[in-house]
Amino acid sequence: MSIVTINGQDVTLEDNERLNVVQAAKKANVEIPHY
Amino acid sequence: MCLVEVGEKKPDGTVAMMPKLVPACQTPAKDNTVVVTDSQKVKEAQAATLEYLLLNHPLDCPTCDQAGECYLQDYSYRFGRAESRLKEPKIIRPDKDYIGDQITLFTDRCVMCSRCVRFTREFSGTSELQIIDRGNHAEIDIFPGQPCNNKLAGNVVDLCPVGALCSKDFLYKQRVWWLKTRDSVCPGCSTGCSIFVDENEDHVYRLRPRENHLAQGQFMCDEGRFGYKYIHAEERLTVPEWKQAPTQTNGFAGPRWMEALNHVRESFKQLAKKNGQEIVAVFSPWMTCEEAYLLASWLKKLSPKVRLTLGPIPVEGEDDRYPKNWRGEPLEPTRFTIRAEKCPNRLGVAAVLAQFQPSTEDFSSILNAARAGQLQAAYVVGGGPPGWLTSDDVRSLAQVPLLVVQDILRSELTAAAHVILPGASFNEKDGTYVNHAGLAQMIFRSTHPVAEGYNDTRIFMELAHREGLFNAKNMRQEIAQQVSALRPLSAGDLGPTGVMLPALQPAPQQPMGAKA
């Protein structure tokens, strides 16, 4: 389990979750514009 | 566009940020990663990237199909600047009308995200699209004479975040903000792809895939995407008809329906009193579970001896699996399957029939009985695309003295019928479809039934003199109590992804690619 901080908000990721920062931010309801 | 500030939290609690912005889509989220997406530095980078993307982008939103669902439009509204600082003329590149039979490319709208290229390389495996030229001159293109015509090609239009790749089928038909969207299930094959139906003023303009990893994943095939056109065919039946019409028809729709339904109800009641064995009902695999349940329960109440059967199951070729290699051979692991069984609800209808009639009746035995003159009445329900029953089937059924056909299109079958009741297509009714894997999904009515407001469930409810209006949720709860295989429908509302029915799941196969 790992903890990522998005704009000061902590998001917990499971060990089997291999996310990039766009996806991790989505878990914190932060949208990063991307194509 | 996705540039953000990224840093790392050290064990002593301090945070070390990287000196430059990094692309968020390329940066893995690790333990102790610190991300900042709302600093001034990030906002300036987003605005600058958008300015670059818009340098050569034409200002043709008023004529662009994507306007209203365009990422570039939305992002420039939210993150961009109001005006362009470019003084030089924009690079104008010729449009490519023929990327595929269904796809056209507006070259200068492209923002070079390369999603379409990745899709054809990684998902369909057919690799028709690539980027040619470099820098400012980079373009999406095909190899000469190698158009993008694979069966999943329509998905690149959905994937395109801007109006560069457009569907020729939908081009300039509707502004997207007029479209009303309902969830549904594609009736094209037994995969049962979750879809959106986009409709305006009772006309369906397009089907789009809806993400559902229990059903198909994120995409849908072109056969389903463009194969719905029969629902707007001129051959659609709109009013009930019968051969021995009463002498007095006053031309009003309501009385016509009442007369037709009374005629069918009374005839079947009389015949069932004499001998239920001489009445058959042929169910189609396009019926919803609710319709099958209503028809079966009405007929079995008339007489338990009424014979129910599932009509022929259309099968075309073999399952078509993607991705493929350049020879067209499927590769493992399979990511998408277009199934050979071209109907949405064989399992659901069969489960209802099995409950009402423990010994299954074969369609060919019904045809034999019809040819031998052992039948007095037949109730045949269609509801799918044309060509369901063969001419031979129809000739046999035409021997029955009272043939009631409930279908959506005029065909050989309706020509042979004594009473024609116009039914509803998949977009005109609420109900439940069960796909090949035993996944029950809800479909919703997106347009009004063309048959003066009557759809199949209303017809069956009036025939059975059931009180009240049809409500799919309540009906699912009733079915769950009556049909053991469909017990998980008791929730009534199955949610956007549907509910698995353990009783209908096929036996587990050997995992694909496993060696014997």
Number of Cβ within 10 Å of residue B229's Cβ equals: 10
Selection from A25, A27, A1 nearest residue A13 by Cα: A1
From the number of C-beta atoms within 10 Å of its C-beta (0-12, 13-18, 19+), residue B500 rates as middle
- The CA distances from residue B349 to B288, B310, B353, B442, B458, in Å, are 7, 8, 6, 14, 18
Strand (E) positions, B328-452? 336-338, 377-381, 402-407, 419-422, 431-434, 439-443
Q: What was the pLDDT predicted at B255?
A: 63
Task: Classify B7 as helix, strand or coil.
Answer: strand
User: Phi/psi of residue B356, each to 5°?
Assistant: -80, -20
Minimum CA–CA partner of B71 in chain A? A35
Q: What was the pLDDT predicted at B509?
A: 63
Contact A5 B79 (CB under 8 A): no
Selection from B202, B178, B80 nearest residue B450 by Cα: B202
Q: What was the pLDDT predicted at B451?
A: 83
For residue B126, give every residue at least 6 positions away whose Cβ sits within 8 Å of its Cβ, in sequence order, or none. Answer: B120, B148, B150, B323, B324, B326
- The CA distances from residue B498 to B37, B223, B242, B379, B442, in Å, are 36, 23, 39, 31, 7
| Cβ–Cβ under 8 Å, residues B156 and B325 | no
> Which residues are bridge partners to B200 per DSSP?
B203
Which of B29, B111, B161 lies nearest to residue A4, judging by beta carbons?
B29
Q: What was the pLDDT predicted at B244?
A: 62
Contact A13 B29 (CB under 8 A): yes
- Over B193-214, what HEC string results? CEEEEEEECCEEEEEEECCECC
Q: What was the pLDDT predicted at B510?
A: 57
| Cβ–Cβ under 8 Å, residues B503 and B434 | no
Minimum CA–CA partner of B4 in chain A? A32
Q: What was the pLDDT predicted at B267?
A: 93
> Which residues are bridge partners to A2 per DSSP?
A13
pLDDT in tens, chain B (516 residues): 899 999 999 999 899 999 999 999 999 999 999 999 999 999 999 999 999 999 999 989 999 999 999 999 999 999 988 888 989 999 889 999 999 999 999 999 999 999 999 999 999 999 999 999 998 889 999 999 999 999 999 999 999 999 999 999 999 999 999 999 999 999 999 999 999 999 999 999 999 999 999 999 999 999 999 999 999 999 999 989 877 654 444 444 446 888 899 999 999 999 999 999 999 999 999 999 999 999 999 999 999 999 999 999 999 999 999 999 888 899 989 999 999 999 999 999 999 999 999 888 899 999 999 999 999 999 999 999 988 999 999 999 999 999 999 999 999 999 999 999 999 999 999 999 999 999 999 999 999 999 888 999 999 999 999 998 999 999 999 999 999 999 999 999 999 999 999 999 887 765 554 444
Q: Tell me how long chain B is.
A: 516
Q: What was the pLDDT predicted at B458?
A: 94
Q: What's the gap in Å between the CA of A31 and the closest CA on chain B?
A: 9
For residue B422, give every residue at least 6 positions away whose Cβ sits within 8 Å of its Cβ, in sequence order, or none. Answer: B236, B237, B238, B239, B240, B406, B407, B408, B450, B451, B454
Q: What was the pLDDT predicted at B252?
A: 42
Answer yes or no: is pLDDT of A34 > 50. Answer: yes
Q: Which residues of A touch B25 (CB under 8 A)?
A: 20-22, 34
Which of A3, A21, A30 lies nearest to residue B32, judging by beta carbons?
A3
Contact A6 B35 (CB under 8 A): yes
Q: What was the pLDDT predicted at B113?
A: 93
Q: What was the pLDDT predicted at B511?
A: 53
| Cβ–Cβ under 8 Å, residues B500 and B215 | no
Q: Answer whether B34 touches A (CB < 8 Å).
A: yes
Answer yes or no: is pLDDT of A26 > 90. Answer: yes
- The CA distance from B306 to B303, in Å, is 6
